[in-house]
Amino acid sequence: MLDQKNGVFPAVCPLDCPDTCGLLLHKENGKIVKVTGNPEHPITQGAICNKVRNMTERIYHEERVLYPLKRTGPKGSGEFKRISWDEAVSEIAGRYRELINEYGPESILPYSFYGNMGILSVDGMDRRFFNALGASRLDQAICNAAGNAGWKYTMGFKGGTSPEDTEHADLIIVWGGNLISTSMHQVVIAEKARKRGAKVVVIDVHKNRTAQWADWFVPLYPGTDTALALGMMHVLFRDGWTDEAFLKRHTIGHEELREHVKSYTPEHVSAITGVPAEDIEKLGRMYGEASVSFIAIGNGLQHHDNGGMNVRSVACLPALTGQWLKKGGGAIKTNGGYHAMNSDYLERPDLRPNPEARSINMNRIGEALHMKEQPIKAVFVYCSNPLVVAPDTERVQAGFAREDLFTVVHDLFLTDTAKYADIVLPAASSFETTELYASYWHHYVQLQEPVIEKLGEAKGNVELFAMLGRAMGLDAGTFAETEEELIAGALDYPENPYLNGVTLESLKEKRFVKLDMTPQASYLDRLTTPSGKIELYSEAMKKAGLPPLPEYIPLQEGYDGTKRPGPSESYPLMFISPPNHNFLNSTFANSEKHQRLEKEPLLQIHPQDAAQRGIQDGDDVVVYNNRGRLELKAQVTDKMLPGTVVSQGLWWNGKGGKRRVNALTPDRLADMGGGATFFSTVVQVKR
């Protein structure tokens, strides 16, 4: 493909989006001029989002970093000079050697997430490098850690319903997610179900795009989802909608749960959630009456102090009506478990000189950079932009501003984070590399082969970390393997029967290779909870100091319907900051095209809350709490219940403006999995 200057070539969307679309790259004179969907992809079928249709803006953006850079001005100033790769590598290797001698290898911390979902890039050669070095580990809990932990206590295995089956559902509930923006092909499938008469319900704190498309939007107060789920269970048990045979055979704790939910009457739940009692009755009845119901569990309800419990509680619902025996019934939190690969081979934990090395939760990066004992002396950031995406930005920024911290950032752009680096390394785009992709929603695995030459002196993650491994004199064989060898090794994993038949050869031949879903026939027999059943009562949760049954626990900051205006009189509004439609987390936030599509960052505020503050639509407002402040334009709208304000999108700091929503968010950890609590925060707003 590289040697052909013109033509249409297959590719994979590398972004952190469940859909993992098949793409086609249209090449003219050696340059990609257009990105379209690959109609041959069995699930995504040629439809792609607008963000990625405009991907060429990003690939060929004039601000792409094309050469290694060394800082010349103060941290944060963005002043750099060009250096050679040799200079960059010898500086990094030299500094790392010094730090290891003086402070030990754990003084070095990798900080990465899934800016590129390529398995070799973010769960492969990079891990080998930091393992062999003996660096501190990073607990990558920023995205869905709390929810996944809650799901796991209930269901065990990290997988749910197969997406293509969900067209058979006659009730689809989108719970705390915004699928129109974040998983458009699930919407396409839901539309098919809808044509056959299915109803779509959205349960959210904000009338997002998905709620506007749904048949019924149920707004609630942030962090009260467990109470709502318990209210539905109350109705299901009370009115005999439950599948008793299923409960007996496939669950434990149904008798305890039946007793437990008696106190969660619609009136009581209404007082907590703000959902009218008759709507709770209606929701319970709809769920009970549906013959096949499917719940798409989003990320929103788990970015809270009680986020693990929220997902755990919602995950109990399908068992109550026996959905796991029905095609298309059940729920998806993530389907990432189906494609588990040979991580011991990919990441080589055996190379680690210090198996007991500490782990730092990435949600606490601000705090970690201020540690006095065993201080972190170097951070290597790749595939993430912590100065925009991590909670409590001011603290994170103060950490990265430390003069004695040696920071390397590998990225395609001078992000807000890269501006604090001592060395910036140019990253190749995924279309310039060989990579392996799997989806955390559908069941197809795909291969990316380079379509264009690397721009400037950019390098992909695999090449970079292999080079650094060799420069540090680490086990040479490990850092000499090619991408194809890595792919073959990753897929060589008989422990995961779903990987049957997925090989480098089949990927080259067919491009889209489906996981072998035959073990799915016995989904319920493969449950990996301690009891082997769906755990409505969880002894493991009890041991972990959590309530063993679903139980509503109020947020630390914030209010529910029973105790408003909440613990802090100074900050009476709940602040919710979910992603927007045209960015992918903070990716694309620097592309003029994508900015134009979003226009500008807004604060959505209820007419009642606006009137109390003399705020009119279009006014400039300041949103603040004791962590920081944001400067935005107000949009007066009743898309939320009074008391909740919303700002969508992870914007970088504008020219002079304060636009980073995480300036206001807490770095407290959620109840489970060390998850983030972005949405459990209170603010005040003024003109």
Interacting residue ranges for ligand MGD, rule: CB under 6 A: 16-17, 113-116, 121, 142-143, 175-179, 181-182, 203-206, 208, 222-223, 225, 298-301, 304, 382-385, 388-389, 410-413, 415, 427, 430, 461, 576-579, 581, 583-587, 650, 661-662, 665, 678-679
Chain residues 128-187 in contact with Mo ion, contact rule CB under 5 A = 143
User: Which residue is listed with tokens 């006014």?
Assistant: 619
Cβ at position 55, least distance to ligand SF4 in Å: 8
Give the DSSP letter of residue 263: G
Pick 14 or 284: Cβ nearer ligand SF4: 14
> Residue 557 binds which one of Mo ion, ligand SF4, ligand MGD, none, with CB within 5 to 8 A depending on kind?
none
Cβ at position 419, least distance to ligand MGD in Å: 12
Contact present, 608 and 639 (Cβ < 8 Å)? no
DSSP SS3 for 171: strand
Cβ at position 414, least distance to Mo ion in Å: 23
478/386 Cα distance (integer angstroms): 29
Cβ at position 49, least distance to ligand MGD in Å: 7
Strand bridging mode 435-438 / 423-426: unpaired
Pick 187 or 214: Cβ nearer ligand SF4: 187
Chain residues 571-630 in contact with ligand SF4, contact rule CB under 6 A = 584
Pick 117 or 513: Cβ nearer ligand MGD: 117
x/- letters, 430..449, toward ligand SF4 (CB under 6 A): --------------------
Pick 194 or 209: Cβ nearer ligand MGD: 209
* Residue 94 exposed, middle or buried by CB count within 10 Å (0-12, 13-18, 19+): exposed
Q: Does 15 bind ligand SF4 (CB under 6 A)?
A: yes
Pick 138 or 650: Cβ nearer ligand MGD: 650
Contact present, 357 and 135 (Cβ < 8 Å)? yes
Pick 152 or 594: Cβ nearer ligand SF4: 594
Cβ at position 32, least distance to ligand SF4 in Å: 14
3-state class percentages of the chain: helix first, strand second, coil last, to nearest 5: 35, 20, 45
664/295 Cα distance (integer angstroms): 31
The window from 14-22, 70-78, 385-393, 430-438 that contacts ligand SF4 (CB under 6 A) reads: 14-22
Query: Cβ atoms within 10 A of the Cβ of 39, count?
Result: 11
C-alpha distance from residue 24 to each of 8, 46, 431, 444, 564 (Å): 6, 9, 11, 17, 52
Cβ at position 289, least distance to ligand SF4 in Å: 33
Q: Phi first, then psi: what are they for 441, rounded to 5°?
A: -130, -60
Dihedral of CA atoms 25, 28, 33, 35 in degrees, nearest 10, equals -10
128/479 Cα distance (integer angstroms): 8
Q: How many residues bind ligand SF4 (CB under 6 A)?
A: 12
Contact present, 14 and 180 (Cβ < 8 Å)? no
Pick 331 or 584: Cβ nearer ligand MGD: 584
Which residue from 11, 32, 43, 48 is in contact with ligand SF4, where contact means CB under 6 A? 48
Nearest to 600 by CA among 648, 645, 640, 639: 648
Give the DSSP letter of residue 5: S
Pull the structure tokens for residue 392. 């409590």
The window from 11-19, 204-212, 220-228, 478-486 that contacts ligand SF4 (CB under 6 A) reads: 11-19
x/- letters, 176..205, toward ligand SF4 (CB under 6 A): --------x---------------------
Contact present, 383 and 121 (Cβ < 8 Å)? yes
315/218 Cα distance (integer angstroms): 18
Pick 461 or 625: Cβ nearer ligand MGD: 461
Q: Does 20 bind ligand SF4 (CB under 6 A)?
A: yes
Cβ at position 219, least distance to ligand MGD in Å: 9
Q: Does 650 bind Mo ion (CB under 5 A)?
A: no
Contact present, 461 and 116 (Cβ < 8 Å)? yes
Where does this chain bind ligand SF4 (CB under 6 A)? 13, 15, 17, 19-21, 48-49, 51-52, 184, 584
- Binding site residues, Mo ion, CB under 5 A: 143
